[in-house]
Structure 1
Amino acid sequence: MTRVTILGSINVDTILQIPRLPKPGETLAMSGKQVAGGGKGANQAIAAARAEADTAFIGKVGDDANGKMMLKALQNAKIDTTQISTSNYADTGEAFILLDDNGQNSILVDGGTNQEIKIGDIETAHETIENADFLITQFETPLTTTLAAFRYAKSVGVTTILNPAPAKTDLDPELLKLTDLIVPNETESETLTGIKVTDEASMNAAATALIKQGVKAVIITVGAKGAYYQTKANHGFVKAFKVDAVDTTAAGDTFIGALSSRLNSDLSNLPAAVLFANKASSLTVQKLGAQPSIPHLSEILADGEIKKA
């Protein structure tokens, strides 16, 4: 069983269903409202665990009802929450998601306790990191903490996966040199490289630019089209599964969590892992809400399009 440790965010999502995004100054009536677990880190952890990876989490919640709810949700998903601490100084993170009738979303985030994760928390979690095949993180927690975690992971031979979301430009160059696999979407890829992703040639150019900055391998996800992968040795494009999307909120997080559950630590089976992750994401977008929509392994394998490893 693959062992995955996630350093990341824990949020409670409030999903506001609307016909379309409002124009400046416009008032729109909502057609529905739902509260669900979220946060990119927590979503990725649940995706990995439901795909039957042995999953642990490093994070922080507040001493509040949302924090208790999220701890219970992660534990119910069979995630090791030993390294999730409770803060008395901030509330658990929250996200407010505007979801339109086409399944597209815009998201506002209050980081809360996610921004309180310190280097000391990484030092406390050294054993958890050391016991993993993969360490995964995103940009919803402090970058100084991410850098400390990746430094330690590489020192003990753990493969690092970086999801550079939300997109940032002020990165320490060392972070990319410590990254084995980076997984941006097309917008995040453009932010990191300055290259607009429009076709496979531009994906190749963007991925090449990232590899020149020190990463070993790149996956650029392009929504309903699929995902492009590139290593120093090869590259290719894996098409997405065609489905009718209801809510795309956790599609990218599901992709990364599911990918890590199937990936070899030397990245040698990258195309097969991308296909598996595409399938998992295609199931996620057909349901409402982030964590409620993330599929279990049995669902990913159900129709036989993906073979059991």
Structure 2
Amino acid sequence: MNKVTVLGSLNVDTSFRVTDFPKPGETISVKEKGNAAGGKGANQAVAASRLGAQTSFIGQVGDDASGRFMVKSLEEDNIDASCVSINPSVGTGTATIMLDEDGQNCILVYGGANQAITPEDIEGAEDEIASSDFLVAQFETPQNVAIRAFEIAKANGVKTILNPAPAPKSIDPELLKLTDIIVPNELESASITGIEITDEESMVKTAACFAEMGVANVLITVGDRGAFYMIDGKHNLVPAYKVQAVDTTAAGDTFIGALSAQLKTDYSNVEEAISFAEHSSSITVQRLGAQPSIPHLDEVKELINN
């Protein structure tokens, strides 16, 4: 069993189902409303825990009911939340999600306490990081915090996975040098490298570009085409497991969590881990909500074996 530590965001999600997204100045009716625990970091930790990993979380919430709700939700998924700090002056993060009839989404995020976490807060989580197999981070917390966490990880032989989402305007070069595997989707990849993903040749060029930035291992999710990897100099495109999507909100987060739960630290099972992550995401997109849609290990195993 992998031990996975996730550094990331904790948001209370409010979802609205609509027929079509509103145009500027337009008022529309909402067909359905829901509230659930979310945040890219929290979603990835829930996925890792449900899909086979011993999981810990590093993050920050406000001293409010939403923060207590988020910590409780982590613990209910058997995630160690002892490294979640409480900020008395900033509220817990929130996200407002609109979902259309095609399963596409638009998301408004208030960072709150997620953006107030500091490198000093990471120092208290050093033992948790050092005892992990993988440390995962995204960009709903500050980059300087991820750098400090990755420094601790690298000093202790822990593999680092960076999910560059939401796509930033720029990435600190130091963070990339500390990253073992970068896992963007095709749009995030193009935003960072300037190379549009159109075919396998462009994927190989993208991997070379990331290597020049200091990241030797790349895994790019490319929608219904599957996932491309360049790991230890070997590359391939693993075909997607295709289904009809209802809600894509936590698809990428499920993929990251599943990958970190199943990937061996020597990457020897990379194709099997990618396929497992794709099957996991295929279940997620057929359900509504972020964390409520993330499957458990027995569901994915049943899907793969059938």
TM-score, normalised by the number of residues in structure 1: 0.97
Paired with 1:136 and 1:266, the residues of 2 have a C-alpha distance of 16
Paired with 1:242 and 1:205, the residues of 2 have a C-alpha distance of 26
Which runs of at least 4 in structure 1 moved beyond 6 Å after TM superposition? none
Aligned to 1:126: 126
1:265 aligned partner, one-letter code = T
Aligned to 2:70: 70
Aligned to 1:302: 302
Cα contact 2:279–2:304 (8 A) shared by 1: no
Paired with 1:105 and 1:81, the residues of 2 have a C-alpha distance of 29
1:119 aligned partner, one-letter code = P
Q: How far is the alpha carbon of 1:232 from its aligned partner?
A: 4.1
SS in 2 for 1:259: helix
Q: How far is the alpha carbon of 1:211 from its aligned partner?
A: 1.6
> Is residue 2:68 matched to residue 1:59?
no
> Is residue 2:136 matched to residue 1:140?
no
Q: How far is the alpha carbon of 1:268 from its aligned partner?
A: 2.2
Greater mean deviation of Cα atoms: 287-296 or 223-232 = 223-232
Structure 1 unmatched runs, 5+: none
Paired with 1:169 and 1:60, the residues of 2 have a C-alpha distance of 24
SS in 2 for 1:261: helix
Paired with 1:21 and 1:201, the residues of 2 have a C-alpha distance of 35
Cα contact 2:279–2:303 (8 A) shared by 1: no
Greater mean deviation of Cα atoms: 106-115 or 296-305 = 296-305
Once the two structures are superposed, residues 208-263 of structure 1 have per-residue CA deviations (whole angstroms, 9 ceiling, x without a partner) of 21122111211111223211111242101111111111100000000000001100
Once the two structures are superposed, residues 118-163 of structure 1 have per-residue CA deviations (whole angstroms, 9 ceiling, x without a partner) of 1111111000000100000000001111111111110111000000
SS in 2 for 1:4: strand
Cα RMSD after superposing both structures: 1.1
The number of equivalent residue pairs is 306
Aligned to 2:217: 217
Once the two structures are superposed, residues 179-217 of structure 1 have per-residue CA deviations (whole angstroms, 9 ceiling, x without a partner) of 000000111101110001122221221122112211121
> Is residue 2:286 matched to residue 1:286?
yes
What pairs with 1:224-303 in structure 2 (closer than 5 Å)? 224-303=224-303
TM-score, normalised by the number of residues in structure 2: 0.98
Greater mean deviation of Cα atoms: 80-89 or 223-232 = 223-232
1:214 aligned partner, one-letter code = G
Greater mean deviation of Cα atoms: 21-30 or 99-108 = 21-30
Aligned to 2:11: 11
Paired with 1:164 and 1:70, the residues of 2 have a C-alpha distance of 23
Aligned to 1:45: 45
Aligned to 1:105: 105
